[in-house]
Chain A
Amino acid sequence: MQTSIIKFVLNGELKSLEISPGTTLLEIIRDSYHLNGTKSVCNEGDCGACTVTLVEYQEDKPLFKAINSCLYPAEKIMNKHVITVEGLTCKDSELHPIQEILYNNYSTQCGFCTPGIVMSIFAYLAENSEYNEEELREALNGNLCRCTGYVHIIQGALEIINYFSEHQDKILPKKLLEGNKKLADLNKTFNLNFAEKSQGGRGVEGYYLIKSLAKYQEIIKKLKGSGTIKVVAGATDLYVVGNLRRSYFKNYLDITYIPELTTVKADDKYITIGASVTLETIRTNRLISDKLPILAEVVSQMASKQIRNIASIGGNVGNASPVGDCATSLIGLNARLILFGEDGEREVSIDQFYKGYKETVLKHHEFIKEIIIPLQDKCFYSFEKSAKRKTLDISSVCSFCYIEYDKGKMNISRFAFGGVAPYPKLALSIALELRGKSLEELDIEYLGEKVSQEFTPLSDIRGSSEYRHILIRNHVIKHLEKFKEEAMNEG
């Protein structure tokens, strides 16, 4: 019999705990350990009040990241070090330098967002060895505050990075350093091949951390007929549904530990991204910023650091949201998907992947294993996202434009749109219009109008149909204006 007891480190101390599947890390922190410094404010990843820092070892090095504990499956803290605001200090009266500086800068008012902000700053400091304002802000965009207007927070945070540029040794207090050591030792005595089954209150029977493709096949065979299975990666979508609608699946199959799914590879012609690669990895990965910087640009406009640290690109495609930013961009990029399931692998073009609203060609046991993106030499890429707020917001309309051109003439082009149809979609009319044309021959306004006619977007909370129509038209104009400028600059 397998047990559901996991071992992990919490604020420097080794813990073991029995976990009921479907529980979030936030619940563990607050209910099992009564660490109430970490706040529950929205329970859907949108405020940052529940931010904690996770440490895990990769190649003998501790890696730090900030996450939203409200969306983090508790099972996954196995073999990790969870640091909450309580972990930064040892004695009651003591303050961590982060806290000291924020205190002196009046960076807290009602205090409810504050622990989350402290933990985002802490993770940023621990994760990097050099600091700058831009990345610091990037690390804090996922932490909302209703009281301060942020100015005193930014002021404090800037002073903090100045201070720690000189005092890197003060980031980790002794007990956390010791905790990391305990974690390093723990790794040797434990493996990831873990699955558990116990009756939880939410009707979740199992959460499987799956280590290999073979193991996946084994498990789905075993679970056949025993109720719903659901592939889960970052859970940033699935656990929102769980938390808000109390709607859970019977068995979660976590595919983020399968090595093939977590690598980025490239040659001259293709870049291949494992489906479980996180959005933050895409934003910072060397290969991607060398070969396909536009993708990093797309991802940098998505969600928050905490979400990107766990959300996967495969989840963005697999959840079949009509407005997925990656999904839309990958259509523009003409990506191919390698699917994996019971019977092994098959390949589909992303054009063929979606069938309807939240509907894909995936069979219930299948998932996306890899995403293959062709690389082109002479081409233009551009991404536009229109949303209410600049950061941490879902698009009203997003679009991706891809144009191959040579000697002043346009060749193949692809314009993909999100938020205008039941699923992300390619505009069909415009490719024909552009083919073989030179820049001077373009009537940009006309083309925008024409593409806009092609779609009949709905009205919903993120925008009226009219607004979306205008956005389609104007996105086309923006892409082509940018293209004109770039092509002209190249002569």
Chain B
Amino acid sequence: MKVNSKHLSGKLHLTGKSTFVENIALQAKDCLYAYPVVSSKAKAKIIKLDSEASKSNPNFKHLITYEDIPGENNIAHGNGDNQPLLAVKDVNYVGQPIAIVVATTLEDAIAISRKIKVEYEEEIPILTVNDAVQAKSEYGPRRLFQRIDSCSKDDIRELQGNLTIGAQEHFYFETQRCFVANEENGYFTVYSSTQAVSEVQEVCARLLGVSSNYITVDVRRLGGAFGGKEAQATLWAGIATIASYICQKPVYLALERKDDISWTGKRHEFVNSYKIKYNSEGKLLSYELDLKANGGAYIDLSFAILERALLHSDSGYYIPEMNITGTAYRTNLPPNTAFRGFGAPQSILTTELALERVAYSLKMDLLDIRKKNVYQLGQTTQYGMEVQEALGLEMLEDLEEISNYQELKAEIADFNNNHKYRKRGIGIVTGKFGISFTATFLNQGSALIWIYSDGSISLSHGGIEMGQQLYTKVATVVCESLGITMDNVRSESTNTKRVGNSSPTAASSGSDLNGNAARQASENLKARLAEISLKLFKEKYDINVDLDDVLFDNNLIFSKRYIEKALTFKELAHYAYMNRVDLGEHSFYKTPLIDFDKTTNKGRPFYYFVYGASLMVSEVDILTGSYKIDSIYVVHDNGIPLNAEIDKGQIYGATVQGLGYCTMEEVKYNEKGESMANTPSTYKIPAMSDVCSNFLVKQVNKERSQASVLGSKAVGEPPFLYGLAGWFSIMNAISYVTKSPESINLKMPATPEAVLLAIEEIKKRGLYV
């Protein structure tokens, strides 16, 4: 039975009735409010904390410092770093929490926290990658990925360049927040807006110096996350938990937008340089790439992000010789963190740029050069993984077709001939995104299903619902397996009591890990139900049914031979209960085949790849540098989607987020390390007006030899790459006003200012035509 459900939370969202953390907090009696006092310096010693200001406010309750933390003052998780919840002697970024103010209203907590004075002895901060390189402020040694295949050395040309790629703010709509309820015996329930319940649980227990079973973490849903709540929700959950412990009251904390943008980590800024060798036919021969990531003040997920960047430095292309190096640096910015794509966009963009320049220097077609270099079956990647399914060419051919590429090209050339100050351009990006956590142990998922004796179902798993409709997809898997309709299933909040040791909902793995676990649980339950059904068929209809013949469909159980003599799911469940059949099931899934050696940087880090390609057309105003995207074409390798329309929504959303990343989204810090673009009036994300009507997505829904639950493929992150075509389309438009397109110096992101300055540079260098 194919279930095609709408968003399970859709009606609640549309009527404003869905429960977020804030709704839980608002129901609490006697709730107190916490807000952090944070560092205003990027690097300093703390001399004194003056709490005088708090005393004059009648609503003030507590001021909490590191000394009040009963357990270990460390929130780092699984990365060997030591990141204090509350600063002790030093502060290492603007926004680092130093103390916690607790008051009876949120407004008072905020007001007091802003008035509390901290005296510092300032030191010189490291803010940029260049500063960090000079200071040798590295997080661990440089990593090298190398693969040397033999290739013809005739006719070699060479190009080199570098690219600084700006950071990106998550701008989840619901800011970081957490509500903590204190319970008997020193237990706490933490309602955190987090993608990683088990991590929050472990860290809160550590802070309190208790074992993990003292802490329950419960998450109904998040108002957006995009990676920004994978590691970074933990800090705020920790603060609320400590406050609740000290005050012995429920405590709520929610960041103001400006503080959230200023104080939390971003997608990593990368400073990349490359050297590429190729022949006159546009075959890539050798590629050297060096990646330098600005990790911020604590390591957070920087190792893993750098690793994924290194693993994606091939983009979708086979290059016989690869020498890829990467280093993450410690700086005095908020710790940079996970963001949809997780390092891959930064290296893919650079590689696509190198390729693009090769095409420009050879005057080659932008699509042809890609077709020529995509992976073919059986070739290996720079980390020694054999490509067992090579779909790059198929994606590009589909793209050519849906975009009417040849006509489009002619139209654009024609338009550009007829317009002096307006130029159009085409940008193409090939996507190949590896699916699995590169930390192999995280590739595990669990689900817990109860069939109650009335046939209704309670479904729990370790995944977080954050808008991607994971709950809908996992419930779909259960329904398809048990042959029931969605209205029978309640998707429970994600709760560490029901499902423990869960991996963060990240790396696009949510439906693969949790869906597979839930499917296993459903199949086990189904087997038990099928078995007991034989008895009921006999009792009720006096028929003998073969176990192999039992079918579950549309809330009914029947056999092929006696279609009319069906049992309802409800009656079978009740019968099973009366016959003492276990109607609860916990199941576990671990991704097979994967294995990656981090010392040799070889192995199979990914279970499979998701492929895709995109093409965008933009029109640039040469006089102002402003532009609009005129059309967007996307081809996406979807497998057999669990829910095609939900996946399409992910493709649209990720593409636009990627487009924002490479066009208008500009993170800025001043020389003091203070965040400058920290409100939506200065940090711009795409609005509806930035999304053109001509946005065509072709989902290639085919059975693939390598896919996951019920033939589906992960969809969360890969489509982010499609947005990057926007940047290349702008560069391509600019190429029409220069004699030397391969030397266009366009910043990333390509804000109107960056575009105008790139054009001005062309003029200054006398290359304008």
Task: Show the binding face of A for B, using Cβ within 8 Å.
Answer: 34-39, 41-44, 46-47, 49, 84-86, 88-89, 92, 95, 99, 102-104, 106, 108-115, 118, 137, 140-141, 143-154, 201, 240, 244, 246, 384, 386-394, 396, 461-464, 466-467, 470-471, 474-475, 477-478, 481
The docked-state distance in angstroms from the alpha carbon of A152 to that of B15 is: 17
Given known A-B contacts A106-B6, A108-B7, A471-B756, A392 and B14 have beta carbons under 8 A apart: no
Chain A interface mostly helix, strand, loop or mixed?
A: loop
Asked if B246 CB lies within 8 Å of chain A CBs, one says: no
Cβ–Cβ contact A112 & B224, under 8 A: yes
Q: Which residues of A contact B752 (CB under 8 A)?
A: 386-388, 396
Q: Which residues of A contact B10 (CB under 8 A)?
A: 103, 106, 108
B211 CB to closest chain A CB, in angstroms?
33
A228 CB to closest chain B CB, in angstroms?
20
Q: Which residues of B contact A118 (CB under 8 A)?
A: 14, 16
Residue among A102, A391, A466, A471 having the largest count of chain B Cβ atoms under 10 Å: A471
Given known A-B contacts A104-B6, A244-B679, A467-B753, A388 and B684 have beta carbons under 8 A apart: yes
Cβ–Cβ contact A111 & B18, under 8 A: yes
B723 CB to closest chain A CB, in angstroms?
9
Cβ–Cβ contact B6 & A244, under 8 A: no
The docked-state distance in angstroms from the alpha carbon of A278 to that of B15 is: 30
Cβ–Cβ contact B679 & A46, under 8 A: yes
Cβ–Cβ contact B652 & A37, under 8 A: no
Q: Which residues of A contact B119 (CB under 8 A)?
A: none
Q: Which residues of A contact B183 (CB under 8 A)?
A: none
Stretch from B40-48, B463-471, B555-563, B572-580 contacting the other chain:
B463-471
B730 CB to closest chain A CB, in angstroms?
14
Asked if B599 CB lies within 8 Å of chain A CBs, one says: no
A258 CB to closest chain B CB, in angstroms?
29
Cβ–Cβ contact A44 & B680, under 8 A: yes
Cβ–Cβ contact B623 & A110, under 8 A: no
Question: Which listed residue (B11, B653, B753) contacts A95, Cβ 8 A?
Answer: B11
Cβ–Cβ contact A148 & B687, under 8 A: no
Task: Show the binding face of B for A, using Cβ within 8 Å.
Answer: 6-7, 9-18, 20, 22-23, 26, 107, 110-111, 114, 170-175, 221-224, 226, 256-258, 421, 466-469, 623-626, 628, 645-646, 648-649, 652-657, 664, 666, 668, 676-677, 679-682, 684-691, 693, 695, 751-753, 756-757, 760
Cβ–Cβ contact B16 & A109, under 8 A: no
The docked-state distance in angstroms from the alpha carbon of A391 to that of B684 is: 10
Known A-B contacts: A110-B173, A386-B752. Give 17 more (CB < 8 A): A34-B26, A46-B680, A99-B14, A103-B7, A103-B14, A109-B7, A113-B173, A146-B653, A148-B652, A153-B688, A246-B111, A388-B753, A390-B626, A461-B677, A470-B756, A471-B756, A477-B623
Cβ–Cβ contact A103 & B11, under 8 A: yes
The docked-state distance in angstroms from the alpha carbon of A118 to that of B12 is: 12
Q: Which residues of B contact A148 (CB under 8 A)?
A: 649, 652-653
B214 CB to closest chain A CB, in angstroms?
30
The docked-state distance in angstroms from the alpha carbon of A152 to that of B115 is: 45
Cβ–Cβ contact A37 & B687, under 8 A: no
Residue among B10, B626, B654 having the largest count of chain A Cβ atoms under 10 Å: B10
B661 CB to closest chain A CB, in angstroms?
12
Cβ–Cβ contact B691 & A149, under 8 A: yes
Question: Which listed residue (A92, A110, A389) contacts B690, Cβ 8 A?
Answer: A389
B39 CB to closest chain A CB, in angstroms?
20
Cβ–Cβ contact B689 & A147, under 8 A: no
Cβ–Cβ contact A46 & B467, under 8 A: no
The docked-state distance in angstroms from the alpha carbon of A205 to that of B116 is: 26
Chain B interface mostly helix, strand, loop or mixed?
A: loop
Q: Which residues of A contact B649 (CB under 8 A)?
A: 106, 109, 147-149, 151-152
Given known A-B contacts A34-B26, A246-B111, A464-B753, A146 and B15 have beta carbons under 8 A apart: no
Given known A-B contacts A37-B17, A106-B645, A246-B111, A144 and B469 have beta carbons under 8 A apart: no
The docked-state distance in angstroms from the alpha carbon of A145 to that of B653 is: 9
Residue among A47, A114, A481 having the largest count of chain B Cβ atoms under 10 Å: A114
B468 CB to closest chain A CB, in angstroms?
7
What are 12 sample pairs from A and B whose C-beta atoms fall under 8 A apart? A42-B679, A89-B15, A103-B14, A106-B648, A108-B9, A108-B10, A109-B468, A141-B688, A149-B652, A154-B688, A246-B114, A461-B677
Cβ–Cβ contact A144 & B687, under 8 A: yes
Q: Which residues of B contact A246 (CB under 8 A)?
A: 110-111, 114
A273 CB to closest chain B CB, in angstroms?
26
The docked-state distance in angstroms from the alpha carbon of A153 to that of B686 is: 14
Cβ–Cβ contact A149 & B16, under 8 A: no
The docked-state distance in angstroms from the alpha carbon of A88 to that of B11 is: 13
Q: Which residues of B contact A110 (CB under 8 A)?
A: 13, 172-174, 221-224, 466-467
Q: Across the two chains, which residue of chain B brings its CB closest to A469?
A: B760
Residue among A86, A145, A153 having the largest count of chain B Cβ atoms under 10 Å: A145
Listed from nearest, the 8 A-B pairs whose CB atoms lie closest are: A37-B16, A110-B467, A111-B13, A149-B656, A112-B223, A112-B173, A149-B652, A109-B467
Question: Which listed residue (A46, A49, A86, A143) contacts B681, Cβ 8 A?
Answer: A46
Q: Which residues of A contact B666 (CB under 8 A)?
A: 388
